[in-house]
Every structure is written in C-alpha cells, then in structure tokens.
Chain A
Amino acid sequence: MSSATNSTNNLSNNSSSDRQSPIGPYPRATIAGLALLVLLAFSFSGLRAETWTALLPFFEWMETTWFGYVGKTWGGAFATIQAGHLVSLGVLGGAVLFSDGRLLGLYSSLPLREVIDGSHQVFKWALAVVVFTGVFMACGVAVKVYYLPVFWYKMLTLTVGVLFAFYVRKPLIDRDLSVVSPLVVKLTAVASIMVWFTVAATGRWIGFS
C-alpha cells in the first residue's frame, strides 16, 4: 500500500522538470541534441583526422600507465577484467531491458516508478564499472585499438548512449508519464535498447578486429 502511494506521489512530482528554461521545455534533451549534431559535424569534417593524429601520443602514454603495464604483462589480469567488463555490461543491459521493457508496457503488474528509478540506479553503477574496466582494457592494448575503426565506432556509440541516457531519457522518465505521449515514451524505450545493443555489439566486434 505504501509503495503504491509513493508511486503515485512520485509520478505526479514533476515540478522541477516543468520549470521553464531559456532554451525551452527540454533543456537537457536540447543540449544533448546539439552535442550530437556537433559530434556528427566533427565526424565529417577535416578536424577528425587532425584530432586522431594528435591523440596518438595519448594512446602511447596509456600503455605506459600502471593499467597498461598490468594489462600487457599479466594475461590473467586482463582476462579477469574482461570478465568483469562482460558481467557489468550484462547487468547494464539487464537494467536497460527491464526498465525499457516496462516503459513498452511489459510486466505491467510491476510499479512503473519503482521499476524505472530502481533500474536507473543499477544502470549507473553498472555503467561506472563498464567504463572503469573498459579504460583498463584499453590501456593494455591502447595503440592497437587506436588504429581500429570499430573502437572509434564504439566510443561514438558509448558517447551517444550516455548522452541519450542522462540527457534525453532520464529527463523524460522523470516527468509525469501519464501526461507524456505514450508513443514518445515507447520510442524512447526502443531507442534506448537499440543504442545500448549497438554499444555492446561494437564492443564485441573490437575483439574480432
């Protein structure tokens, strides 16, 4: 009973999201959209090649760090961190599928607000572990991945995923979902699943390249 009351209160508690901003009713989504446009413009401009060349010393430095040393020297440590990366990716994916599945109308007997808020907490922790273990792994093979196009696709999709999760999806699901178009909610859920699936798929493809 108490959880049902909390759920109702949380659903209607959207005053902070409804505050008007100078850049419109969806400031975080607008900023994320602009950031993605800048990223796209950057990808198709001559700046990309210059930046890529300038980043080589950074990747060479990554291999000289303690992470790089451990990753290159102890195969067992590298494989263990890889396993941690996979487990945390699995948990991240589970949280995304659970939360977005609920937004798509699955498991409708479970309380909506508790599911999406609880899943977001799990998602944040899993993302932190994914990024930490990912940085460790990249340090071990930094110069190799530097020359792999699929590594950069993965970084691009990860950036899109993080921007989407925190600047588009989160502000939307924080609102009172009963007044948001169901189509918008479902499209957001589908987009979220597709983005994180792409992140996982490109990551897997690094291993084959």
Chain B
Amino acid sequence: MNQLIFDISVWLDDTAWSTAIHESYYLYNWIESTHVITLMLSLGILFLIDLRMLGWALPNVPATRLAERLNTPMLIGFIVMFITGILLFYAVPVRSSQSLWFRIKMVLLVVCAVNAYLFHRRMTQSMSTWENEPRAPSTLRKGAMISLAFWTVIVLCGRFIAYDWYDCEYPQPDLVRALAGCIDGQIRF
C-alpha cells in the first residue's frame, strides 16, 4: 500500500503542473494563503455552530435554524479549502504523502466527516424539542465537542506538516517509519 502511494506520488510529482505550482513563489503562496484564510469561512462558522450547541455562544439564537442557515457558507468554505488542499498536496506530493502529520490529518478529516454526518442526522431528528434551549441535548453536545477538538488537532497537524521532525529522510523510530509509510531506498522528496 505504501509503495503504491509512493509510486502515485512520484507520478504526480513528475507532472508539469506539480512542478509549476511548487516552483512558483506567488502561485504556491496564493494557494496556501487561500487555504489558511478560508479557515475564517469554514472552521470559523463551524466553531460558531459547535459553540452554540454547547451553550457557550449565541444562546439566544435558535440553534437548528442557525446551523441550517450557516450550512451553505460553511460548505463553500470547506469546498475552497478542499480544492486548495488538493493543490497543495499536488505541488509537493511525495513529501506530503510520506508525512506523519499529513496522514494523521487525513484520518481525522474522515473522522470529522463521519461526526458531521451523524451530528446533522441527530440534529434533524430532534430539532423540534430543543430549538430555543440554550444548550443542545447531550448527544449533540458530544458531537460538537468532538468537532471542536478534532478540528483543532487537524489545524495543528496542518502546521506540523511544515516541520521536518519526522521526515523519512532522517533516521526515525520504526513506529514513525511505519505510520509515515517510509519506503526503503526512497531518495526523492
């Protein structure tokens, strides 16, 4: 599996567009800046919804109506983040795919997506009973806490990707090498 990921990454790395993006100072920085600044639209709004569910913010705003109205701008934000994230990966595919932090981030993104789906389903099933309460029911509050915590760790992992602490090109413990998917004889980053 790691060999397959590595081979695909090398193939992506050899494409002209990948080289064009990572060798262009302005294009790469514009993409990365868009990725980070879109946090305000995606994560910022998601956290507002989570804080409302926990009763820590906007207690007088009807909860499910808030979540429904903010869904569209939040999704637009996440789509922009997703596209720019793919472009950032495409610009540096080999190093990214062998990054421990990138892999943790991807796993947590999947967990957050599942959590968001379950959260939305539970919210629509129960909305009529607590719409104007300052706090959501316990199951939804747990979902909001998971969302807050995991998205914070995702941002943290995103920051850690920039550092080379666990890069495969340096000697690493076996566990790190296994989790990062380091390939023996790997010479290109």
Do these two chains really belong together in a complex?
A: yes
Are B73 and A97 neighbours in the complex by a CB distance under 8 Å?
yes
Interface string of A120-135 (1 = CB under 8 A from B): 0110000000000000
Known: A94-B41, A115-B58. 11 other contacts (CB 8 A): A86-B155, A90-B47, A93-B39, A97-B44, A110-B65, A118-B58, A118-B59, A122-B51, A200-B40, A201-B37, A204-B37
Residues on the A chain within 8 Å of B122, using CB: none
Are A75 and B33 neighbours in the complex by a CB distance under 8 Å?
no
B157 to chain A, nearest CB (A): 9
Are A110 and B36 neighbours in the complex by a CB distance under 8 Å?
no
> Which applies to chain B's interface (DSSP): helix, strand, loop or mixed?
helix
Q: In the complex, what distance in Å separates the CA atom of A90 from the CA atom of B65?
A: 22
Of B82-90, B158-166, B167-175, B177-185, the one with at least 4 CB within 8 A of chain A: B158-166
Q: In the complex, what distance in Å separates the CA atom of A79 from the CA atom of B158?
A: 10
Are B57 and A122 neighbours in the complex by a CB distance under 8 Å?
yes
Residues on the B chain within 8 Å of A87, using CB: 39, 43, 47, 151-152, 155
Are B43 and A75 neighbours in the complex by a CB distance under 8 Å?
no
Residues of chain A whose beta carbon lies under 8 Å from any beta carbon of chain B = 3, 6, 75-76, 79-80, 82-83, 86-87, 89-98, 101, 106-107, 109-111, 114-115, 118-119, 121-122, 196-197, 200-201, 204-205, 208
Report if A80-B45 is in contact (Cβ < 8 Å); known contacts: A93-B39, A94-B40.
Answer: no
Residues on the A chain within 8 Å of B62, using CB: 3, 110-111
Residues on the B chain within 8 Å of A106, using CB: 69, 73
Report if A89-B60 is in contact (Cβ < 8 Å); known contacts: A83-B152, A97-B73.
Answer: no
Residues on the B chain within 8 Å of A82, using CB: 159
28 contacts between A and B (CB under 8 A): A75-B165, A83-B152, A83-B159, A86-B36, A86-B155, A87-B39, A90-B40, A90-B44, A91-B47, A91-B48, A93-B37, A93-B39, A93-B44, A94-B43, A94-B46, A97-B40, A97-B44, A98-B45, A101-B73, A111-B60, A114-B58, A115-B58, A118-B59, A118-B61, A122-B57, A196-B40, A200-B37, A204-B37
B115 at the interface (CB under 8 A from A): no
A71 to chain B, nearest CB (A): 14
A67 to chain B, nearest CB (A): 18
Residues on the A chain within 8 Å of B66, using CB: 110
Q: In the complex, what distance in Å separates the CA atom of A196 from the CA atom of B114?
A: 32
B18 at the interface (CB under 8 A from A): no
Residues of chain B whose beta carbon lies under 8 Å from any beta carbon of chain A = 29, 32-33, 36-37, 39-48, 51, 57-62, 65-66, 69-70, 73, 132, 151-152, 155-156, 158-160, 162-163, 165
Residues on the A chain within 8 Å of B156, using CB: 79-80, 83
Q: In the complex, what distance in Å separates the CA atom of A78 from the CA atom of B51?
A: 26
Residues on the B chain within 8 Å of A92, using CB: 40, 44
Residues on the A chain within 8 Å of B29, using CB: 205, 208
Output the nearest chain B residue to A81 by Cβ-Cβ distance: B159
